[in-house]
Structure 1
Amino acid sequence: MKKYLLILFLLPLALFGQTGTITLEKLKEIAIVDHKVMMPMRDGIRLATDIYRPKNAGKYPVILSKTPYNFNQWIDGKEMIRQYEAAYDAVKKGYVYIVQNERGRFFSEGVWDILGTPTTDGYDAFTWISSQEWSNKKIGTIGCSSTAEWQMAVASLDHPAHVALIPQGYGAGVGRIGNLYEQGNWFRGGAQQMLFTSWLYSVQNDRVRPTFPVDITQEELIRVSRNFDLAPESPKVDWGLALKHLPVQDIIKNVDGPIGVYEDMIRRKPNDPKWYQGGLFHDNMPFNKPSYWFVSWYDVASTPNIALFNLLRDKSKFPKAADNQYLVIAPTLHCSFKRATENTIVGERSVGDARLDYDAMTYSWFDYWLKSEENGIKSKMPRVQYYTMGSNKWQQSETWPPMEAKATTYYLSSAGKANTRNGNGSLVLSPPKTDQADVFVYDPMNPVPSFGGNVCCIGNAIQGGSFDQQTMELREDILVYSTPVLTEDVEISGFIESVLYVSSDAKDTDFTLKLIDVYPDGKAYNLDETIQRVRYREGYEKEVFMEKDQVYEVKLSALSTSNFFPKGHQIRIEISSSNFPRFERNLNTGGNNYDESKGVIAKNKVHHSSKYPSRIILPMIKIK
């Protein structure tokens, strides 16, 4: 498990840097290496920091990466190679490279709280760094996932030395954006995303973890770090089995995991005040920093990530920042940009040659903002560079969605039996006149299993990516709706909205939706997926429960993709009430869900007619 965590840490570092082998000794040939610098915060807490700077005297710009993961230099040498490679590359290019542990992690003092770490820690780090004699007072931040999540909220504090950002796979730092109440990837549509359960098992600090004395010196830390790094060796867990445990609040306890922030977070609702007290970025916060955003189609949070990018381009709200936001969307899994190859396989689907020169992109961005080099990057760089699967090519646009994408509505229709791919569900351009509702039984004890998808950090429970869903579509609790075989080539690029008219005999339930590309041979590859907890259909400030058999309009959280559908393919959606363990099961009781062990079987219906126009709105581009 420790090795697994190190890989998670090293992924962000691998996003830029060399591919060769750089040892600490080789790094010292060009760099002054200063390990275990205890950087002071305003409240006296000190954060453990490694600093790599050019040997030649002078003032240099700084690249800062802050992480909750272990970077003790005395862990297995192979595991540190990529940090040294990133530092070597940065120093060689005239930068100071700094890696810092978050408050309360490993050698850093204080109490750690994922998503709740004070934003002032980042501000204070900028102040300390910019006051050093080797600093030119310009700092850029970079990182993926947990090394990205802190960047947006800290940027809102507008420290003068914080000049530019490169957040990658940054959904864990996105709180509320419009009607998306993700709260750091904890929710989608009001349902818990279970990735944090497995992730926190291995990452959260136990309340009884060992610590070093508060007055320990840098020299002592370097010495004792050879033997102690405060990294727990967590027993391996079969998360495919462990996540089935009920109640949800006891999952980590049930596998003898650490007692920490999970037990508090699992009780929060989507609009709990605690989400607004920590390090998440929300749409009411200021933002004034140039940012280069990196998103993946098969990551856990592509929609909220892109929604944040769009928000920051609003000149009325962010006049100073709007023209300095750029976006790249790759066809990869979480933080796997540089794993793209000549034949990039995501899950089991080939999406072609998806490579980009991320090193060049990174340093061109930092050279422009941190060194004031007139390299023309703003005129050369596409505002939005995105990869279209199916046609397997990089494209560019000034906006997202692309301006040529036209919203095209397809309505759900059937003769009352859309269950399974052998049913009669269809997607049509006009709503059916009469309602022949499709009915399925949702049993929380037998949920639809997650198969592939847009995930991260969930151990062995789910393999992310695109997989053939044909076997899954034989389940009676999955409704399948497909277009006729396409007679023209079309591209879907943008946000996919959906509205369902539903009823149930339960007080509360969920509805899930999955977008599928169906090939002529029947293979059905998933593109994106979403969920909506019906109790939050009127917003996340209140819960409104269902009355038996009353029909309700439910707007699901948006999906996102860019996919080419050649003629001969079909566009398909799947609808059900579970996608487990990607999302927690709704036990249908109307209770808290997190503290319940027994569920209620729900008889759920999807209605479709002129009165109940259940539909999906696709951003379609006709190919000339």
Structure 2
Amino acid sequence: MIDKLSRPVNLVTARRSTTVTTTVGAFLLIAMSAPFVCAADFVVEKDVMVAMRDGVRLATDVYRPAVNGKAVDERLPVILSRLPYNKDGQAKAARYYATHGYVFVAQDTRGRYKSEGVWHMLTDDGPDGVDCAAWIGKQPWSDGKIGMIGTSYFGGTQHAMALAGAPELKTVIPVDAMANMGRQSVRHAGAFELRFWNWIFLNAGRGSNASKDQGTKDALTEMASQRFAYLDQLPTRRGMTPLRLSPEYEDWLVSAMEAGPNTEFWAQNNIVDAPEKYKDIPVYLVSGWYDSWGGNNTANFMALTPTIKGPVYMIMGPWIHGQQTGSAHGQVNFGPSAAISDQWAWRQEWYDHWLKGIDNSVGKADPFKTPVRIFVMGTGDGSKDVKGRLQHGGFWRNENEWPLARTQYTDFYLQPDGGLSQDKAATKKSVTQFQFDPKNPVPTIGGNVSSGNDILLQGAWNQKGGSHVWNFQEPIPISARNDVLVFQSEPLAEDLEVTGVIEVRLFASSSAVDTDFTAKLIDVYPPSSDWPGGFDLNIGDGIIRGRFRESLKKEVLMTPGEAYEFTIKLYPTSNVFKKGHRIRVDISSSNFPRFDVNPNTGEPLNRNRLTKVATQTIYHDADHPSRIVLPVIPASQP
């Protein structure tokens, strides 16, 4: 399919000289001097102010197909994008769909950029989405059918609208979408993902109400430039930083960092706990093995598939956040087949089928042949590419379900000597201890992050320090730290595919009343001519905050010295550990700044003033079989 937008387009801008007011049902459209942008094959009406049920008006752009610069009269299906990142950035996608038989509508969400009102984290996007859809459905250019598009936050606005049940909504393609925020990806098993601290510090002065005053914007911009210094002063408290100048952002951040349990605070977009609220429409879930929302993407698939008729489809690639058109990230190359080269055309195929009723490749050919399509990583030759990246490789495979029905859940036990084996340790009592100092946390080197913006590395990296890791500058392996316990297998005799959800079941105790335990799965490459020191490739990680060991809904402090079993959920993956490689599990108590650091004091979340060094005890004996449970996929029969 040829993208018409690859050619130059001459735009002519005209403005209405009058004010047009039209009442449509309960919704008021006020287009005051709304500019038109015209080209031969599309026209754009900019900054249409669409009123919500409470009178707040949201800035909206409408892109329509045109012939010789005049909008077509035909009623057409609509592709809708509702986002907090400035609707003007949707121009390329909008022009594509407007020149391929759709009306494209882009809207600034409440309190962002040109829209009125006060921003709140997703909680207004259900009702606002319903009101926006109702207005769209009554326009002369709309046939009443809406499909949604968007990534991350505006993947989340798709979920919000589907959960709110907008009648006009007919299909969604949420990419790396915000969901289940009290479970993982924001409040993560009790810990807080600091990428959202970073998001707030950056966006409080970008497109916010506060940013409309230049002096206030300057103060917030200066604050954002000093994020490393503010990280050293965590926790962030109300009124104590320039964030107070943007009160809705400060309020959400501090409230979120204090709201540990998975309760009503996190109810918006909680699909896993209430899938029956989701509208029964075709859903295509998109994410990546290294994306911050990857675990929630697979969890949503598992929750929605038995609940709605859908159909529900899912694709998982070797991608970081929003990078489906890429095939490499961090220090790793997955091969050219990993990328989706045309990000708009494959979506159009889905929209054409469900919004226009076209009999096409949906249900017949990739990437729509089966409900699940996954990229199995790890079949590359391990050499360096021309940019010095590890060629980890991989291939695409279609599946009918998730998790895979043929999965063999296999225990690999932590051994007293640092080994990792399918045999349980035979000793009656065996422990390894380390000290966790909150003032010297284990640094984050890659992983399932987004909104990293200088403080976090995304994706696949050799677990080794250097100038690229701001809080671990020395070029030494992370395994050299005394607060990282390493358990690894012998070199594998055969390739081993691991595809699915991964858990570490850890028996541990602490001298503290509250602490964290972390786990990381690593594919250990042996030394080679290209990698004389080998390559320790991060595959997935996770954390558990001690006070949430029993439930994500209730805090229960620990008894110092008492052994508990902790379940640490790692992000899902699909990776072949090749013959000669080792499977490695790193256990520690911090992963910063991926997660906030537990002060080990038991003080209320985000209100601590003190820190304590904790002595951590990891058990690995017959009575305390600490282990990682790997979803092993049997080798295909010849």
1:453 is displaced (CA, Å) by: 1.4
SS of 2:364's partner is helix
Query: Counterparts of 1:518 and 1:196 in 2: how far apart (Å)?
Result: 31
Which residue in 2 is equivalent to 1:404? 406
Equivalent residue number for residue 313 of structure 1: 305
Unpaired runs of at least 5, structure 1: 1-15, 73-79, 213-226, 416-423
> Counterpart of 1:195?
195
CA pair 205-327 structure 1, distance change in 2 beyond 3 A: same
AA matched with 1:123: V
1:587 Cα deviation (Å)?
0.3
**Partner Cα distance (2:446, 2:7) in 1:** 32
Structure 1 residue 433, shift from structure 2 partner: 3.2
Partner of 1:6: none
Question: Which amino acid counterpart does residue 126 of structure 2 have in structure 1?
Answer: T
SS of the residue aligned with 1:525?
strand
Q: Using the alignment, how far apart are the partners of 1:398 and 1:257 within structure 2?
A: 51
- 2:572 aligned with 1:556: no
Conserved in 2, the CA contact under 8 Å of 1:48 and 1:101? yes
Pairing 1:184-583 to 2, within 5 Å after superposition:
185-204=185-204, 209=210, 234-235=221-222, 236-249=224-237, 253=241, 258-259=246-247, 260=249, 261-276=252-267, 278=268, 280-281=270-271, 283-284=273-274, 285-287=276-278, 288-314=280-306, 317-318=307-308, 320-321=309-310, 324-338=311-325, 340=326, 344-353=327-336, 354-356=338-340, 357-380=342-365, 381=368, 382-391=370-379, 392-415=394-417, 424-470=418-464, 471-521=477-527, 522-583=534-595
8 Å Cα contact 2:129/2:166 also seen in 1? no
8 Å Cα contact 2:63-2:94 kept in structure 1: yes
Contact 2:377 2:395 in 1 (8 A): yes
State the secondary structure of the residue aligned to 2:398.
strand
The equivalent of 2:382 in structure 1 is none
Q: What do the CA deviations read for 1:527-578 (whole angstroms, capped 9, x no partner)?
A: 1110000110110222111112111011112431111111101111100000
* Residue in structure 2 matched with residue 116 of structure 1 by the alignment: 123
Offset, 1:374: 1.4
Structure 1 residues 239 and 40, CA, compared in 2 at 3 Å: closer, same or farther? Answer: same
Verify the 8 A CA contact 1:298 1:454 in the aligned structure 2. Answer: yes
- Counterpart amino acid of residue 438 in structure 2: P
Once residues 267 and 379 of structure 1 are traced to their aligned partners in structure 2, the CA distance between those partners, rounded to angstroms, is 48
- Tell me if structure 1 keeps the 8 A contact 2:295–2:572: yes
Relative to structure 1, the CA distance from residue 351 to residue 329 in structure 2 (aligned partners, 3 Å threshold; closer, same or farther) is same
Whether the 8 Å contact between 1:21 and 1:85 is mirrored in structure 2 is no
CA distance, structure 1, for counterparts of residue 554 and residue 374 of structure 2: 37
The C-alpha deviation readout for 1:460-493, integer Å capped at 9, x for no partner, is 1121121112511100100101111100111111
1:155-206 deviations in Å (ceiling 9; x for gaps): 1232221000010010x23346xxxx23xx3211110000111101122379
Contact kept, 8 Å, 1:149 with 1:280, in 2: the verdict is no
Cα drift, residue 17 of structure 1 = 8.8
User: What whole-Å deviation, never above 9, does each CA across 1:56-104 have from its counterpart, x for those lacking one?
Assistant: 21100000000011235xxxxxxx5xx3321221011110011001111
Cα separation, 1, equivalents of 2:240 and 2:371: 42
* Aligned counterparts of 1:24 and 1:330: Cα–Cα separation in 2: 37
- Shift of the 155–71 alpha-carbon distance from structure 1 to 2, 3 Å rule, reads closer
Unaligned runs of 5+ in 2: 13-36, 66-70, 380-393, 465-476, 528-533
For residue 20 of structure 1, report the CA deviation from its aligned partner.
5.6
* Structure 1 vs Structure 2 CA RMSD: 2.5
Measured in 1, the distance between the counterparts of 2:493 and 2:452 equals: 39
The answer to whether the Cα contact below 8 Å between 1:119 and 1:279 also exists between their aligned partners in 2 is no
What is the Cα deviation at residue 306 of structure 1?
A: 0.7
Instruction: Give 1:445 deviation, angstroms.
Output: 0.2
User: Structure 2 CA distance, aligned partners of 1:412 and 1:18?
Assistant: 55
Report the Cα distance in structure 1 between the residues aligned to 2:507 and 2:220, rounded to whole angstroms: 49
Against the structure 1 CA distance between its residues 210 and 483, is the aligned structure 2 distance closer, same or farther, given a 3 Å change threshold?
Answer: closer
Q: 1:452, 1:464 within 8 Å by CA — same for their partners in 2? A: yes
Number of corresponding residues: 560
CA distance in 2, matches of 1:368, 1:532: 43
Q: 1:100 — aligned with what?
A: 107
Residues in 2 aligned to 1:24 and 1:252: alpha-carbon distance in whole angstroms:
48
Q: Distance in 1 between matches of 2:238 and 2:198?
A: 12
Contact 2:125/2:161 (<8 A) preserved? no
The answer on 1:43 being equivalent to 2:54 is yes
State the shift of 1:598 in Å: 2.2
Q: Partner letter of residue 328 of structure 2?
A: I
With CA pairs under 8 Å and 6+ residues apart, which has the higher RCO, 1 or 2? 1
- Cα deviation for residue 255 of structure 1 reads 7.5
Is 1:299–1:333's contact at 8 Å kept on the other side of the alignment?
yes
Cα deviation 1:244-279 (Å, max 9, x = unaligned): 223233698268873333233222222342222x45
Secondary structure of the equivalent of 1:149?
helix
Asked whether the 8 Å contact 2:53–2:131 carries over to 1, the reply is yes
Give the distance between the partners of 2:562 and 2:84, measured in 1 at CA: 47
